[in-house]
Amino acid sequence: MKSGLFITVRSDSTRLPNKAFLPIMGKPTIELVIQRAKKVITVDKIVVCTTERSIDDAIIEIAQRNNVDFFRGSLEDKLERWLGATRAFGLDFFITMDGDDLLCDPELIDIGVEQMQRCDVDFIEAPDGLICGSFTYGIRTTALEKVCSIKGTSETEMMWTYFKDTGLFKVDTLNVSDPVFYDPGIRMTLDYEEDLAFFTAILVGLNVENNDVPLRQIVPFLKEHPDIVRLNAFRHDEWANNQKQKTKLILKSDK
């Protein structure tokens, strides 16, 4: 089966304006995400998935500069954007990597790819307690096609509910047992100024130029520097509640 890694990103953001272009060690955050994605060894294609708006031309320029593919699609409908990308590149499944997850771990993504290849599942999610932002989802293209045929809205930012809550798909959690990857107190996603300070402290503290340090090395560093974890940990409940409020399952049959 042909696999992809989709980096989902757009230029505008509300809580942290222009976060895709904010610099850390002289590089925009989205370039750091792309650099990390290129450490994944099991996928056939890395695709930056953004919108057709001119405001996102700068994201395409960064993708091209870093020699990765891109796809432009719907602004609101992330599912349709992904579906277009799967068709454009002939992919059987893909792993998602959000543009604000600067330390999403290549090892965990490789585990997810292997699991999608080996197991008869439609959707893989992170297990409870896995470090927030270290892994997102694995999705089979046939399941995505089904979801796109039954959803009743184009607002699909919180798309996971269509795979988990409809009872139509085989859902699994990522098969990872090593305790180094588990810590609900660590928050690794970029939504607030404090998150930017958190990522900056890690990359500067480890003197990382190409964002290639594995999570296995980052976690011990954070254990030695709990002050860095405290920079943004208090934001997590607010972020989680916001995610919950935006999650709605709307099917065509409900209309």
pLDDT in tens, 15-26: 899 999 999 999
- Quick one: average pLDDT of 137-157? 96
The runs of H, that is alpha helices, within 2-97 are 29-37, 57-65, 78-89
- Quick one: average pLDDT of 235-243? 89
| Predicted confidence (pLDDT) at residue 122 exceeds the cutoff of 90 | yes
Whether 3 contacts 44, CB under 8 Å: yes
Q: Give 71-95 pLDDT, tens digit per residue.
A: 999 999 999 999 999 999 999 999 9
**Whole-Å CA distances, 180 to 97, 134, 219:** 20, 11, 7
Counting the structural domains of the chain, the total is 1
Q: Give 184-196 pLDDT, tens digit per residue.
A: 999 999 999 999 9
Percent of the chain residues topping a pLDDT of 90 = 91
Kind and range of the H or E run holding 195: helix 193-205
pLDDT at position 36, please? 97
CATH of the domain at 76: 3.90.550.10
Burial class (CB in 10 A: 0-12, 13-18, 19+), 239: middle
Whether 240 contacts 191, CB under 8 Å: no
pLDDT at position 14, please? 82
Count Cβ neighbours within 10 Å for each residue of 50-78 and write b for 16 or more, e otherwise.
Answer: bbeeeebebbeebbeebebebbbbbeebb
Query: E strands within 110-202?
Result: 123-125, 137-140, 171-173
pLDDT at position 243, please? 87
Spell out the residues 6+ positions from residue 244 whose beta carbon is closer than 8 angstroms to its own.
none
Q: Which domain holds residue 96?
A: 3-254
Q: How many residues does the chain have?
A: 255
Mean pLDDT (the chain, rounded): 96
- Quick one: average pLDDT of 142-156? 96
